[in-house]
Structure 1
Amino acid sequence: MRIGIVCPYSWDVPGGVQFHVRDLAEHLIARGHEVSVLAPADEETALPPYVVGAGRAVSVPYNGSVARVNLGLMSASRVRRWVKEGDFEVLHIHEPVVPSLGLLTCWAARGPIVATFHTSNQRSRAMVAAYPILQPALEKISARIAVSEYARRTLVEHLGGDAVVIPNGVDVDFFAAAEPRQEWSGGTLGFIGRIDEPRKGLPVLMKALPAILRARPGTRLLVAGRGDEQEALALLPTELHGQVEFLGMVSDEDKARLLRSVDVYVAPNTGGESFGIILVEALSAGAPVLASDLDAFAQVLDGGAAGELFANEDADALAAAAVRLLGDADRRAELTKRGSAHVRRFDWSTVGADVLAVYETVTAGAGAVAPDDRVGLLGRLGFAREPGPPAG
C-alpha cells in the first residue's frame, strides 16, 4: 500500500507525536508498505530516507506548550507537490486541527484520509472559534483515530463526530532487551522530559526531592531532556544539587538503558496529556512507574494496577510514594511483573495491525474526493480552485 503520513510538528524537535509518526512509518515499511512522511524540518536537518522536509517551522503556543509548526504559501506548494507525486492510496494526517501541514494536506488532498487526534484539552475556546475554518477540511476525513479516550472526548466535545481509539505504539522488545548501565542503577529515580516545560512536572519532583532524600539519603535523581539545568536546580537547596544528575538529550538506546536502570521512573506531569507514551516505554523496560493521577496516565497504568499513582501536583504525596517504593523491593518487583504483562497491548504488533485495518476499511470503499472549492482563506494559502469530480 502507498501511504502518506503527515506530521504537524518539527522533525528536529523531539516529541510524542513525532516519535509516534516515526515508529508507525518504520513499522509499516518493515511490513512491505511504501511510506512517505511529510514533516516540518530545517534545511540542515538529517532526515531518514522516508521523510520529506516541508521547510522551517515556527514556534506557536499550543495546549500548554510550544509547538513548532509549518503553515504558509511555500508550505502549501510543497504539500500539493508531495500529494501529487506520492499518488497515495491513503493519507494519514496527525493533528489535522493544528495550524500546520495536516490542515494544508486536508485542503489539498484527494482520496481517503485518515486522521489521528492526539490532543486532550477539556476547554479550548480557540478550537471552537476555529471550527468554521476547520470544518471544510474535517469533512474530507474518511476515518478518525484518537490515541486515548481523553483525546476522543476532546474531539467529540469540540468538533463533533467520533473516533476509534487506537493507542500510541511502542516496540516493547526494544526497551525490554536494553542493557542497564551500572552508573544509573542503585537508589535512582528517573525523569525524562523537557526541563523547561512546567506541565512535564519537574518542579513538582524537585519540590518533593528534599523529603525523599531525608528518608533515603543515598537516592539520586537522573534527569534526561533539554532545558535550563540551573533554573531547575534553583528549586532545590544548594546542598542537594549533587544528588541530581542532568544527562541532557539522550539517544533512543540510552533512553531505553536509563529506563532499564532506574529503581523508580517518576512521571510528575501536571496536565495536557492525552496518553503518556513515556509510561508505556518505562513499563516496557520493566521500570516501576510512579505517576501523577491524570486520567490519561491512570488509563495507561490500568487504574494503578501496572504502576502507582499520586495526587497531581502534590509534592508531599509524590515524596511519600517514592520513599515507600524505594524501600520496598518486593513491591517494585510486583509492579515490574504487572507492567511487563500489561504493556504488551501497546506493542506495534497490535497497534500497527489496528491502524492498517482502518486504512483497509477506508480504501475499500473510497471514491475520489475533490479539492475544496472554497475561496477566501484557502485561496490566500495557495489552494486555487481546481476542476474535479463532486465530493463523495
Structure 2
Amino acid sequence: MSENCLLIFPGLATMSKSTPIYFQVGIDDRWNLWCFPDTFVALTDFQLYWARKANPFVSVVKIPNGIDPAVFNSQVTPLKINISRPIILIVAAFTPAKRLDLAIRAVAKLKRGSLLLVGDGDQKDYLIQLGNQLLGRRFAALKLPYSQVPQIYPAADLFTFPTVPYESFGIVLLEAMASGLPVVATADPIRAEIVGDSGLFVDPTDTETYAATLKHALNTSWGKKPLIQAQKFTWGKIASDYDRLFRKLCSQ
C-alpha cells in the first residue's frame, strides 16, 4: 500500500428530515468521496450505489459492520428484568435521531407488553418521564456497562429500532438478531437490507400502524430466521473481506 493510500469509511448522516433519503446518506460521506480516496467502504448496497453516483471516479466496495456470535447469542444467560412480558427492547442512544419517544407512544397503544430502553443520552429525563406517564409499570429504562449488553437481548421477546431513515447502519440490529430476536425497524432500504426476513418494517411516525406492527411481530413465529440473518454479518466473514481489500491495495 502506498504511503498516501486513503481508505474512507462512512459515518452517520446529519441532515434534515425533509431531505430525500438518496441525499441523506451523508454530507460527510459526500465530502469524503470528493477527497478521492483509493477506496471508499460502503456499509450497505444502498450506500454503495449512492457513493458510485456521488463520485463515479472513486473505487467503492461494500463491507458491512459485523457481530461476534461468541459474544451475542441466544445461549447467553439473560438479565432479570422486573417488567411484564412480552418485553419489547430498544438498545440505543437516548437522542432525538433514535426517535425512542415514538416507540413509547406505540407500545402504550398495546393492551399487553412492556418497553425496555437500554442506553443513555440527552433525552434521558424526557424519555423516562414519558415512559412512566404512558406505560407506568410496563416501562423501564436502564444504563448498562457494555459487558452486560449481551445479556439484555435474551431477556426480551422483540427488538425495535425506530431510528431516522438516514442512519448509515445500526449494529444493535445485528446484536438483536444474533441473540435470536425478531425486529421491527424503520421502513427504509438500509434497515431492509440488514434485517431481511427477520422482522417487519414500518413508518414509526404513524404510531397506530407502529403499534399494530409490533403486535403482529409478537404474534409471529420467527424460528431461526434472526439467527440465520445474523450469520451474514459475522466478524470472521467481514475480516476476510477487509483482508482481501488491504492485500489488493498493497499490490497496487
- Same topology, TM > 0.5: yes
Distance in 2 of aligned mates of 1:127 and 1:354 = 26
Give the SS at the match of 1:272. coil
Question: Do the aligned partners of 2:202 and 2:213 also contact (CA within 8 Å) in 1?
Answer: yes
Aligned residue for 1:148? 44
Selected match of 1:290 from 167, 172, 184: 184
The alignment status of 1:280 with 2:179, answered yes or no, reads no
Aligned residue for 2:10? 117
Tell me the CA shift for residue 170 of structure 1: 1.0
Distance in 2 of aligned mates of 1:316 and 1:239 = 15
Distance in 2 of aligned mates of 1:356 and 1:296 = 24
Question: Do the aligned partners of 1:270 and 1:312 also contact (CA within 8 Å) in 2?
Answer: no
Segment of structure 1 superposing worse, 238-247 or 283-292: 238-247
Greater relative contact order (Cα < 8 A, sep 6+):
2
Distance in 2 of aligned mates of 1:253 and 1:277 = 16
Structure 1 pair 296–127 and aligned structure 2 pair: CA distance change class (3 A): closer
Structure 2: runs of 5 or more not aligned: 14-20
Question: Do the aligned partners of 1:199 and 1:272 also contact (CA within 8 Å) in 2?
Answer: no
Q: Output the TM-score relative to the length of structure 1.
A: 0.55
Q: Output the TM-score relative to the length of structure 2.
A: 0.83
Give the SS at the match of 1:255. helix
Question: Do the aligned partners of 1:169 and 1:352 also contact (CA within 8 Å) in 2?
Answer: no
Tell me the CA shift for residue 204 of structure 1: 1.0
Tell me the CA shift for residue 127 of structure 1: 4.0
**Alignment RMSD:** 2.6
Which amino acid is the alignment partner of residue 325 of structure 1? A
Which amino acid is the alignment partner of residue 203 of structure 1? D
Give the SS at the match of 1:232. helix
Distance in 2 of aligned mates of 1:268 and 1:229 = 16
Give the SS at the match of 2:66. coil
Structure 1: runs of 5 or more not aligned: 1-88, 91-109, 366-392
Question: Do the aligned partners of 1:270 and 1:294 also contact (CA within 8 Å) in 2?
Answer: no
Question: Do the aligned partners of 1:112 and 1:363 also contact (CA within 8 Å) in 2?
Answer: no
Distance in 1 of aligned mates of 2:49 and 2:216 = 35
Which amino acid is the alignment partner of residue 177 of structure 2? L
Aligned residue for 1:200? 98
Structure 1 pair 354–243 and aligned structure 2 pair: CA distance change class (3 A): same
Give the SS at the match of 2:23. coil
Q: Can you list the C-alpha shifts for 1:313-361, whole angstroms capped at 9, x where unaligned? A: 22111111222333x2xx2442xx0110121110011000001100000
Distance in 2 of aligned mates of 1:341 and 1:316 = 30
Alignment of 1:137-286 (within 5 A): 138-139=35-36, 141-160=37-56, 161-176=58-73, 177-183=75-81, 186-195=85-94, 197-212=95-110, 215-216=111-112, 219-227=113-121, 228-236=123-131, 238=133, 240-248=135-143, 250-286=144-180
Tell me the CA shift for residue 200 of structure 1: 0.7
Aligned residue for 2:208? 316
Tell me the CA shift for residue 113 of structure 1: 2.8
Give the SS at the match of 1:271. coil
Aligned-pair identity in percent equals 19
Distance in 1 of aligned mates of 2:27 and 2:171 = 24
Q: Can you list the C-alpha shifts for 1:177-218, whole angstroms capped at 9, x where unaligned? A: 4211232683211111121x2221201112212211xx21xx
Q: Can you list the C-alpha shifts for 1:275-302, whole angstroms capped at 9, x where unaligned? A: 2211111100111211121211011112
Which amino acid is the alignment partner of residue 362 of structure 1? L
Which amino acid is the alignment partner of residue 117 of structure 1? P
Rg comparison, structure with higher value: 1
Alignment of 1:1-392 (within 5 A): 110-119=3-12, 122-123=22-23, 127=27, 135=34, 138-139=35-36, 141-160=37-56, 161-176=58-73, 177-183=75-81, 186-195=85-94, 197-212=95-110, 215-216=111-112, 219-227=113-121, 228-236=123-131, 238=133, 240-248=135-143, 250-302=144-196, 305-326=197-218, 328=219, 331-334=220-223, 337-365=224-252
Distance in 1 of aligned mates of 2:233 and 2:41 = 15
Structure 1 pair 237–340 and aligned structure 2 pair: CA distance change class (3 A): closer
Structure 1 pair 147–277 and aligned structure 2 pair: CA distance change class (3 A): same
Which amino acid is the alignment partner of residue 117 of structure 2? V
Structure 1 pair 230–242 and aligned structure 2 pair: CA distance change class (3 A): farther
Structure 1 pair 127–298 and aligned structure 2 pair: CA distance change class (3 A): closer
Tell me the CA shift for residue 362 of structure 1: 0.5
